[in-house]
Amino acid sequence: MALSDIKGHASLRRLIARAAARDTLPPCLVFTGPDGVGKRRVAVAVAELLNCTAVAAPRGGTAASPDACGKCGACQRIARGVHVDVIIIEPGETGSIKVDAVRTAVNQVAFRPFEGRRRVVIIDDADRLVPEAQNALLKTLEEPPAASVFLLVTSRPHLLLATVRSRCPELRFGGLSTEEIGDILVSRHQFDPTAALAAAASADGSVARALEAGSGDSLEERHIAAEMLEVLASAPNPKRRLETGKQLAGVRRGGRSSAAADRETLTRRLRALATLLRDLQVLSARGDRAWLANTDSAEELVGLVPAYDIDRAVRGFACVDRAIAALTRNASPKVVVDWLALQL
């Protein structure tokens, strides 16, 4: 895929293309920013730009801002992950990236590229590099071979060793707009435009989250979140409130249970809760139903409007937002849901 075919991140794409044209692209870069916004996709596009055999006669680019053709043999092999000069490293089954994978790549980049102009090493989920692997990488980052580029992709750059971070300039990716996500869902994931917009609206800038919102799991999470709103609609006593909070933090049916998985499930339920509260704001303000994130449950939501007027929905949304932020800062799930159940 060419850089110009990527949705969003226009200024970052321009920056990269210009640096490539002037041959001033740093030998190592960290791509940071939220999950699911296309960081890895951009990294692969950079690999194509640096190795496309037709780049001298760019299709959409200009001399100052060249772009890969996306069609030549080199571009296609890179896209399929089988180009000899483009190495993609990602976590294995254990969830971490072991030192061996890094050593193999480091040994390869010591030689000239086989067929392309630059060797590109893309390390996806680079925060999963075990410390030993990061140290193995460090020596190469200190004296990178002339024809190589390392692209570290991560949404958690703070988990990289400070020594690694200090050698790699960071490119920060922002979230995508609702329209950009909607376009991606329609063009690449066969969504119809209405469903795409609904999924995009609740995705908070991330394509991954939008796809999750269209999956079965997320229906279950939304169901649990909706139940909580129904119970709380009548403003029950604190005991009943805490009970319903417990359900929200409960283990997923048929799912694995570990502290990390439970925390993730709870976060997804809270996001579902947030989209429901946002929809309640729309409905109680008599807004257009086209703006609803959960268009398919509009009727059930209408039933909740008398209990959740706009003030309560707005306040509730803010509380859920705080709860999600607290969870990402490692607050105890129990403390978070107890607090939330008493606030909503």
Binding residues vs Zn ion (CB under 5 A): 52, 54, 68-69, 72, 75
Q: Which is nearer to Zn ion, 46 or 226 (CB)?
A: 46
Q: How far is the CB of 51 from Zn ion (least distance, A)?
A: 8
Cβ 72 to Zn ion shortest distance, Å: 3
Chain centre to alpha carbon of residue 111: 34
Kindly tell me the sign of the dihedral angle through the C-alpha atoms of 124, 126, 130, 134. positive
CA distance 283 to 281: 6
* Nearest to Zn ion of 27, 66 (CB atom): 66
- Cβ-based nearer residue to Zn ion, 75 or 292: 75
**Cα separation, 299 vs 137, whole angstroms:** 55
Nearest to Zn ion of 77, 268 (CB atom): 77
Least distance to Zn ion, CB of residue 76, Å: 8
Q: Shortest Cβ distance from residue 73 to Zn ion (Å)? A: 8
Query: CB 242 → Zn ion: shortest distance, Å?
Result: 59
| Choice between 2 and 121, CB closer to Zn ion | 2
In degrees and rounded to multiples of 5, residue 185 shows phi and psi of -65, -35
- For helices 238-248 and 333-343, angle between their N-to-C axes, nearest 10 degrees: 130
Q: What does the alpha-carbon distance between residue 137 and residue 230 come to, in Å, rounded to a whole number? A: 53
* Beta carbon of residue 228, minimum distance to Zn ion (angstroms, whole number): 51
- Give the nearer residue to Zn ion in terms of CB position, either 48 or 279: 48
Q: How far apart are CA 74 and CA 47, in angstroms?
A: 10
Instruction: Report the length, in residues, of the chain.
Output: 344
- Left if phi > 0, otherwise alpha if psi is -120 to 50, otherwise beta: which for 150? beta
Measured distance CA(217)–CA(219) in Å, rounded: 5
Half-sphere exposure of residue 220: CA atoms within 13 angstroms, side-chain side: 12
Minimum CB distance to Zn ion smaller for 52 or for 213? 52
Burial class (CB within 10 angstroms; exposed 0-12, middle 13-18, buried 19+) of 98? middle
Tell me the C-alpha distance between 11 and 13, whole Å: 5
> What's the closest the beta carbon of residue 136 comes to Zn ion, in angstroms?
32
Nearest to Zn ion of 54, 147 (CB atom)? 54
Q: How far is the CB of 44 from Zn ion (least distance, A)?
A: 12
CA atoms of 202 and 324, how far apart (whole Å)? 14
